Amino acid sequence: MNTDLFEGVIDVRPAQESMAEGAVLLRGFARSVEADLIAALRDTVEQAPFRHMLTPGGHQMSVAMTNCGSLGWVTDRSGYRYDRADPESGRPWPAMPASFRKLAEQAADRAGFRGFSPDACLINRYQPGARMSLHQDKDEDDFGAPIVSVSLGLPAIFLFGGLKRSDKSRRFRLEHGDTAVWGGPVRLAFHGVAPLADGEHALIGRKRINLTFRKAR
List contacts with Fe ion (CB under 5 A).
Answer: 137
> CB-wise, 191 or 215, nearer to ligand SIN?
191
As measured in angstroms, the least distance from the Cβ of 3 to Fe ion is 29
Which of 158, 160, 182, 213 is in the footprint of ligand SIN by CB under 6 A? Answer: 158
Q: Report the SS3 class of residue 192.
A: strand
124 binds ligand SIN (CB under 6 A): yes
Looking at beta carbons only, is 6 or 22 nearer to ligand SIN?
A: 22
User: Which CB sits closer to ligand SIN, 66 or 149?
Assistant: 149
Q: CA–CA separation, 64 vs 138, rounded Å?
A: 20
Answer whether 64's CB lies under 8 Å from 51's CB.
Answer: yes
Residues 185-204 that bind ligand SIN (CB under 6 A): 191, 193
193 binds, among Fe ion, ligand SIN, none (CB under 5 to 8 A by kind): ligand SIN
Q: Which of 132, 145, 152, 186 is the binder for ligand SIN (CB under 6 A)? A: 132
Residue (of 134, 133, 157) closest to 208 by Cα position: 157
25 SS3 class: strand
CA 147 vs CA 13, 107, 201, 202: distances in Å: 22, 10, 25, 27
Minimal CB distance residue for ligand SIN = 210
Residue 48 near residue 90 (C-beta atoms within 8 A): no
Q: Which is nearer to Fe ion, 105 or 137 (CB)?
A: 137
Question: How far apart, in whole angstroms, are the C-alpha atoms of residue 117 and residue 104?
Answer: 8
Question: Three-state DSSP class for 211?
Answer: strand
Q: Which of residues 33-52 bind ligand SIN (CB under 6 A)?
A: none
Closer residue to Fe ion in complex, CB, 36/157:
157
* Nearest distance in Å: CB 114, ligand SIN: 23
E strands present in 31-85: 64-69, 72-76, 79-83
Distance CA 201, CA 203 (A): 6
Contact with ligand SIN (CB under 6 A): which of 44, 67, 99, 149? 149
SS3 call for 90: coil
- Positions touching ligand SIN (CB under 6 A) are 124, 132, 149, 158, 191, 193, 210, 212
